[in-house]
Structure formats: structure tokens, C-alpha cells
Chains A and B, each alone.
Chain A
Amino acid sequence: MEMLLSGNEAFARGVYEHGGEFASAYPGTPSTEILETLARQCKADVYCEWSINEKVALEVAVGASWGGARSIAAMKHVGVNVAADPLMTLAYTGVGAGLILVSADDPSLHSSQNEQDNRFYGKFASIPVLEPADSQESLDMVKDAFEISEKFDTPVLFRVTTRIAHSKGLVKIGERRTVEHAGFEKNIAKYVMMPVFAIVRHRMVIERLEALKRFAETTPLNAVEMGDTKVGVISGSVAYQYAKEVLPGASFLKLGLGFPLPMNKIMDFASKVDRLIVVEELEPFYEEQILAAGIPCEGKKFFSNFMELNVERVREGFIAAGALPKSSALPKQAQENVLPRPPALCPGCPHRGLMMALKKCGVNITGDIGCYTLSALPPLETIDTCLCMGASINHAFGIEKAKKTKKKTVAVIGDSTFLHSGITGLANVVYNRGTQTTIIVDNRITAMTGGQDHPGTSRTLMGEKTHAIDLVELVKALGVEHVRTVDPFKQEETIAVLKEEIAREAPSVVITTKPCVLFPSKLKAVTKFHVIAEKCTACGACFRIGCPAISASSEKNEKGRAKSQIDLELCTGCTLCFQVCPEEAIQELKK
């Protein structure tokens, strides 16, 4: 049977079909749908969990693999940084049953803070990297990945990009086949990485890489498609599809195993073509290795390492390389200048209330990874920093300790992010006698990635009820004596609490208590608000809270400025605009 599946859905199907029994992840675009799909469709056969962070996700999958279950851990590219500690030594210990680490990279940073190329982790850790080029390969290569993992006693890095993970294509699906593995068996030389054993394993890693190189030469994952020999193209992942689209008649060496490279095969391919051109997204990962092996090739001078490739960029590259005539370019048409639509906090978002209140406090605000980062943009313009998961608390601490900044600095972090990697930072604040205020915007969900559960929500990914971490008690246990909760929709109260805690010369935590407006369910039976046009003076106060439900009306004041109007379809009745309107022009809509 054929189905239209995204790369993520196809990969999940592959895990099911090829005997996967354990899957863990921390949500992160563009990887999130892997575990969502597995949990929705395969949880009777595959155990699924949202782990508290990526390091834990990889480590539990390692345990499951050592314990005899074919396992996968999935994360976005920057998540692999969090999991890099176990990964680098996991390369030494190797696996039990097959183990796949999915890295979902995000060239063009559609939903990320950088566009790092995680193929380098494969080279860094001396582990094989598989790179599917479409949805069908995302399914099929799961089989290869598990088999390589078991044959060579190595974790396999399964590297996809946004265009592979989120594009859909037709996929032939099959039945589930399981493979029997024994449970955990004591073997300290393999599993206890103290120096005496680890040094021996490092030699194994070096030998394994040589064996993988030999494997790379013969595996059908790396396929030669001979065509016109004027140009030989080496490519992999989605870049292969773009190159194939633009230069269908050329000779291709398509790499499915992106590391280690099949250098003999590449040399042989190079000898059969007039020139060798490498088309790869992001860094010159293949190109540098091929050049280092003494094989002349060209690549990045035609295909930039900046942002994702696409058909037009690959065509331009081949034209610049002289592989295509200039006349092959499609006629360029002018782009129209249409106003931007930057992502905004949703109508009814509890973060809006907190940010409005913080704006009144005159502080620097170190931020974290989550929807609240959107309030760095106009009109709220509150968040001042965003680097990586869990960093906000530590940045505020460092700025305060540096003692060069007059304004006080507070940290804002979401509930899921706090549990991911904020707890350690807060313990550090208490231990090292910081005095900052940390604000946990607890909306009871991992919101930005589409609403996933976490250890504070009382539900597992398998759909079971479970313990919910009590953030107030947790924070108190870390030694924070001043912990307050606020309803961010009550502006006066929120501002008062924040000012009091910011002024305090002791570490404090303020926790907002309102759930995400999208999850777990929309607010019910709300009283909506509307604008009384005669009272509205077009002062713009409600515009400045950045609510998508509020827009400029066609009615103008005497100076020609637009009055406001509220879209009743979007209004959730959160009352924030009502609270900022100085004219009482915003009122409850009587039913």
C-alpha cells in the first residue's frame, strides 16, 4: 500500500516495521512528529516517551538498547548539543540492540536559533551518518540503520533536514518484523568507561571506522547513476533532489551513507567524469573530505553554505559553474513588497499579560526558548536575550554579577524549558548567592512545538496519568525562599508582585499560573470584548499589546488616526486590552 507521508511519519513507520521497541525524544522542530506519530499509531508495539531533555532522551534509549530493544532517540539539531556528552562516549561503548539517534537539522533556521550542520557529529564521534533524500528513504533506511548499528556495534546518526522531515511523498509501507535480542548482560570492558577500559574501546572505534569505510564502498546506500560524463555530481539528502531536477542527464553519485565516505568509489566516479561537483546543503562536509583525499572537486564556490538550498539556487550554482547555459535560467520576476506577518503571541496568550507587566518594571529580561521569545519583537519588545535552552537564568545571574549594568535583570523561562535545563541554573543562583528574580511562565505544556506533555503536566506520551512536578515545591527545595504565583491576566496584581520581588535582595521566583490558550483545550464560555467606537480616541494603547485579535478600524479620530476594533472570532476574553484602555472604550460584549 502507498501512503502520502512526511519524512517524520515515514521514519516512525520505519521504526515500527523494522522492529523498534523503544523511542524517546524531547520535542523540537522539525523532529517532533516522529514521536507523535509513533505514539499515535504504534504505542502497542513501541514504547514512546517525551523525555525531560535530549540528554535524558538519548541516555534512556542507550539503556534500552543495552537492555536488548531496538531503540531510537529523536531531537532537533541543537538538541544533539545537549545530548553530546553521552553521544561522544556512547561511540566507544557501542550498543546492545540497534540504536538510532535522529538529528533533525534546520537549514534556514525556520524554527531554530542556528543552522548548524550535524553531519559533523558523525565525524566527531566516528559513527556512521545516514542521510535519506525523501520520505521513502526515511522509512527504508531505518532498516539499514538498525542493521549497521548491530553489525558494527555503533550508534547510527540519522540526519534529516526540515525539507526531508516536513515534506510529504508517496511511501510504500510494509509489515512489522521483530528481531530477538537478549537483555542486559554484564560486560564491564564494554560498558564501564573508566580509562583502563575506554582506551581499549577507543582502539575499537578506530578499527570500526575502517570497517565502516570498507562497508561504504559496497553498500547500495551509495549509488552511482551514470549519465552524461561532462559533469559528475556528488550529492545527498534533499540537495540530491534539487540537483537531479536541474541536471537530470548528468552522472550522479548519491550518498545515502554520508559518513564515512566511500573514497575509492568517489575516486572511480571522478575518473569517469570530466569534472566533479559536490552539491550539499550547509557546510562543505563531503567536499573537504574529498579534497583531503586528494580528489579534485568543486562545491561551495557555487553553492553557498548559507541557508537551505532550493531548485533556483542549485540552478544558479550550475550556471555559475558553467555546467548549464545562462539561457537555462527561468525569467526572474519582480517580487512585490507586501507587509510582513511576523509570528505573534496568540490572542489570549498568558505570556502577553506577563510581558505587559514586566514592561512596567524597567528591567533587562534574559529570555529562553519558547513562545515568549516572540515578545522580543514589536510591539511588546520585552525579551532582551535568547541563546539556548535553560540559559536565561544563568545569563541574568552573570549580568548581575558583572555589576556593570544599572538596571536590574530578570530571567523569563517556560515550564517545559525550566524542567529541561533550568533547574540546575536556579540551584546555581541560590548556591552562589545571586539575588535575581526568575519568572517561570508556567503554561502547563510545551507550547511552541505544538503542545506536548512534560513532567509537569501529569500525562505521559503513552496517554497514562502520572505525577506532576509541583514547581512551587521544587523551587523551594532548591532553596528559593521567596516564591510567588500570579495570574498574569490581572495586571495590577502582577505588576505589584513583580516590583516587590525584583526589589528584593534575595533570590526569588514568580510563577504565572494560566495555561496555554491552545492546549489542553480552548477556553470555554468566555465573555468577549468589543470596542465602543464613540469612546475610542485612537490612542493606540491596545495596539501596543500585540494581540492578533485587535486591528485598525476604518473609523478614524479627528487627527485621522485609526481607532481599534476587535475580531470576535479571535477574542478569548482575556481582558488585557480592557485593562490597558484608558478611555473605557473596550467593554464586555453583552450576550
Chain B
Amino acid sequence: MKDGTTNVLIVGVGGQGVLLASEILCEVAKVMGLDAKKSEVHGMSQRGGVVTSHVRFGKKVHSPLIEEGAADVILAFEIAEGLRWVHYLRPGGTLIASDQRIVPPIATTGKFAYPEKVEETIKARVPKTKVVNAFEIGKRLGNTRLVNTILLGVLSREIDLEESKWLQVIERMAPKGTGEINKKAFTEGRAAK
């Protein structure tokens, strides 16, 4: 966290909710009184493509993009996407990944294969890797759509933002009627090993 700016790269596949997660993270930083910026590209990528969202917060943020090799945390909603962006992590950074695998249709052409042993490869490169079975936790809570909030809970352990502010923002930004269950999901994620 050089210069007091925290860099979180959130990655996944179109439709997984990466953008909403980065929105929530920025809001928490804002509620803490920090400057915050985020950047992503939407458009064609929505159609099943790779999605990345750069989130930066601190006293004063200039660039909306994280420099390659400067991410403090990578939060991957899909594990191979965590591997794809691992070079963005700073030495000593943390990689959090949901163990979900999404195999793109291009794999059926036989020209490309989904990587094998993703978790092992990541762990060999990143000592501080946390792979979370967020899908299972979501199922246990009764809704797999809670995966995002669970992962944000895991993330919250790795960055310096107050838990009460997280809960306050999640309650405000969760879809109507889902505030309580989302807060529970966040707490479960925060407690996940």
C-alpha cells in the first residue's frame, strides 16, 4: 500500500457481478472519507468476456487504473481469471479467488483448453492465496447470488476499511428486501478460512 493508496483488482467473467462489487468497495472507501476511483470497460465484454475492475482508494487518487505489479489484492470471481491477472499483483500481495470455474464455449473447438491445476499454479506463485468455496456458502445461505457479497467479506479482511461501514453500505446497496441476508453473507465471508 505505497503512498497510502490501496489497489484492488476485481476480475471475473461478464455477468458475474464484478462491477457491482467494485461499486460497493468504492462506496465503503467514500463513506470512510477517502478519495476513490474505479475503472472498467463495458461494451462488447458483457457478452461472456473477461471483466476487470480496477479500484483505488486513499488520500488522493490520480490514475483510475492500477499499475501492473501494484495491486495489493486481486479478488477473482472465477479462478482461472485470477490466474490470468496474477501478474498485476505486487510482491507480497494477496489473491482471493472463488473456486468457481466457468469454461468458455471456445474450449469446445479443441484449440484452447481450460487450464489444469489452476489453484496449485496460483498458490505456487502467490504465497498469500485464499481460495474460497463461495458457491457452497451461498447455497448454505439459500441463494448462490450471494457469492459476490461473500467474496467481499473475504476481501474485507485484507484491506483497511471498517466492518461497520461495509455493513452500512451493503445494507444500502443490496436489492430491496435482501439487506439482512447480504449482511449475513458478508459476515460469513469475513469469517471464512
Closest CB in chain B relative to A163 CB, distance in Å: 6
Contact A343 B91 (CB under 8 A): no
Contact B43 A111 (CB under 8 A): yes
Q: How far is the CA of A450 from the CA of B47 in the complex (A)?
A: 10
Closest to B81 in A: A338
| A170 in complex: contacting residue of B36, B44, B48, B109, CB < 8 Å | B36
Could you mark each residue 71-90 of chain B with 1 if its beta carbon is under 8 Å from any beta carbon of chain A, else 0?
00000000011011011011
Known: A333-B69, A341-B49. A4 touches B62 (CB 8 A): no
In the complex, whether B67 has a CB less than 8 A from a CB of chain A is yes
Contact A311 B109 (CB under 8 A): no
Closest CB in chain A relative to B79 CB, distance in Å: 10
| A4 in complex: contacting residue of B27, B48, B49, B63, CB < 8 Å | B27
Specify which chain A residues have a CB less than 8 angstroms from the CB of B70 in the assembled complex: 311, 330
| Most B C-beta atoms less than 10 A away, residue of A111, A343, A378 | A343
Identify which of residues 140-167 in chain B touch chain A, using a CB-to-CB cut-off of 8 Å.
none
Known: A330-B69, A340-B106, A346-B47. A170 touches B112 (CB 8 A): no
Contact B105 A167 (CB under 8 A): no
Closest CB in chain A relative to B26 CB, distance in Å: 5
Q: How far is the CA of A310 from the CA of B66 in the complex (A)?
A: 8
Query: Top 5 closest A-B pairs, CB basis?
Result: A111-B43, A167-B64, A543-B108, A343-B47, A330-B69
Contact B103 A552 (CB under 8 A): yes
Known: A339-B114, A339-B115, A344-B47. A330 touches B106 (CB 8 A): no
Q: How far is the CA of A383 from the CA of B189 in the complex (A)?
A: 46
Q: How far is the CA of A311 from the CA of B7 in the complex (A)?
A: 13
In the complex, whether A512 has a CB less than 8 A from a CB of chain B is no
24 example contacts (A-B, Cβ-Cβ < 8 A) are as follows A4-B36, A30-B43, A110-B43, A111-B44, A163-B64, A166-B41, A167-B40, A168-B37, A310-B68, A336-B84, A336-B115, A336-B121, A338-B81, A339-B80, A339-B114, A339-B115, A342-B106, A343-B49, A344-B47, A371-B47, A378-B111, A543-B108, A551-B103, A552-B103
Specify which chain B residues have a CB less than 8 angstroms from the CB of A170 in the assembled complex: 30, 35-37
Segment from A40-48, A240-248, A271-279, A359-367 that makes contact with B: A240-248
Known: A168-B26, A242-B63. A379 touches B69 (CB 8 A): no
Contact B105 A344 (CB under 8 A): yes
Contact A162 B41 (CB under 8 A): yes
In the complex, whether B183 has a CB less than 8 A from a CB of chain A is no
Contact B109 A543 (CB under 8 A): yes
Closest to B121 in A: A336
Q: How far is the CA of A336 from the CA of B63 in the complex (A)?
A: 25
Closest to A338 in B: B84
In the complex, whether A332 has a CB less than 8 A from a CB of chain B is yes
| B23 in complex: contacting residue of A4, A311, A448, A550, CB < 8 Å | A4
Q: How far is the CA of A110 from the CA of B39 in the complex (A)?
A: 13
In the complex, whether B65 has a CB less than 8 A from a CB of chain A is yes
Specify which chain A residues have a CB less than 8 angstroms from the CB of B65 in the assembled complex: 163, 242, 310-311
Known: A330-B67, A333-B69. A552 touches B107 (CB 8 A): yes
| A343 in complex: contacting residue of B44, B64, B69, CB < 8 Å | B44
In the complex, whether B13 has a CB less than 8 A from a CB of chain A is yes
Closest to B105 in A: A548
Closest CB in chain B relative to A68 CB, distance in Å: 36
Specify which chain A residues have a CB less than 8 angstroms from the CB of B105 in the assembled complex: 344, 379, 543, 546-548, 550-551
In the complex, whether B38 has a CB less than 8 A from a CB of chain A is yes
Q: How far is the CA of A358 from the CA of B37 in the complex (A)?
A: 46
Specify which chain B residues have a CB less than 8 angstroms from the CB of A162 in the assembled complex: 41
Specify which chain B residues have a CB less than 8 angstroms from the CB of A134 in the assembled complex: 37, 64
Specify which chain B residues have a CB less than 8 angstroms from the CB of A378 in the assembled complex: 106, 109, 111
Q: How far is the CA of A467 from the CA of B66 in the complex (A)?
A: 48
Identify which of residues 12-61 in chain B touch chain A, using a CB-to-CB cut-off of 8 Å.
13-14, 23, 26-27, 30, 35-50, 61
Identify which of residues 526-570 in chain A touch chain B, using a CB-to-CB cut-off of 8 Å.
540, 543, 546-548, 550-552, 562, 564
Could you mark each residue 18-40 of chain A with 1 if its beta carbon is under 8 Å from any beta carbon of chain B, else 0?
00000000000110000000000
Q: How far is the CA of A114 from the CA of B96 in the complex (A)?
A: 36
| B38 in complex: contacting residue of A167, A315, A548, CB < 8 Å | A167
Specify which chain A residues have a CB less than 8 angstroms from the CB of B48 in the assembled complex: 341, 343-344, 346, 548
Closest CB in chain B relative to A250 CB, distance in Å: 13
Identify which of residues 95-135 in chain B touch chain A, using a CB-to-CB cut-off of 8 Å.
103-109, 111-115, 121
Q: How far is the CA of A552 from the CA of B115 in the complex (A)?
A: 14
| B108 in complex: contacting residue of A330, A450, A564, CB < 8 Å | A564
